[in-house]
Amino acid sequence: MSGLKARINAGETVLGTFVKTPAPHVIELLGIAGLDFAVADQEHAPLDLGAMDQLALAARAVGLPLVARCWGQSPARISPLLDLGCTGVMVPHVADSETAENVVAAVKFGPGKRGLSPSPRAGNYGTMGAAAYTAKSDAESVVMVQIEDAEALDRLDMIASVPGVDVLFVGPADLSQSLGCGFPSAQLDAAIVRVIQAARHANVAAGLFVGDESQIAAWRERGVSVFVCGSDQGLVIKGARRIAEAGRA
């Protein structure tokens, strides 16, 4: 099954990592390595629209779906990223269904809030007709809403039931901070399980950030299918440390 959205909706396990470095070569390397997607992290890294343009260009060249973790929840923040050719968005701090609805409206042409022009990269620079472009975008664009706030836990069913939401994605660091618990901790794990259960009930995917690949198997058994593991920075640091430790042993 091809296409990130189709794979997610089919319940496949998909694996990605955060990208925090404004260099298209990183995207090429991750695609060659065989990841299923990457998440360009505008929230916590210096990735302006120009940098995102280069990352999206590299993603298209290597065939790696690129999701943008965007600065905010408004169409002005979201829609330009999709015009560049990003496959979808991951939106931080979605704590209620109204916010989730606004995110979907900014991503999809159907609700009528995303400005339409087939001229950007996503529309093959005007070579696709408007109708074909909007249909393809609405059918393939991925919406990941981040569950990072204690108050969101009591609204999970409403958030998950918003049409167009594909993934309830847990940001464990912010969620633990909001809950006032440790990261990791049993209380945080229980909250993540609540998100998984709500996602399953609504027939959407559950996603989770993990710091290390050793954590994937256990959470996959619990029902998570969308994983973002570490970041490009972490991968470089881990690899460099292995060299340093081996050379000094």
CA atoms of 184 and 143, how far apart (whole Å): 26
CA distance 148 to 172: 7
CB distance 225 to 200 below 8 Å: no
* Cis before 24 (ω within 30): no
- Residues annotated catalytic, as ranges: 44
46 class by beta-carbon count within 10 Å (0-12 exposed, 13-18 middle, 19+ buried): exposed
d(CA 127, CA 228): 34
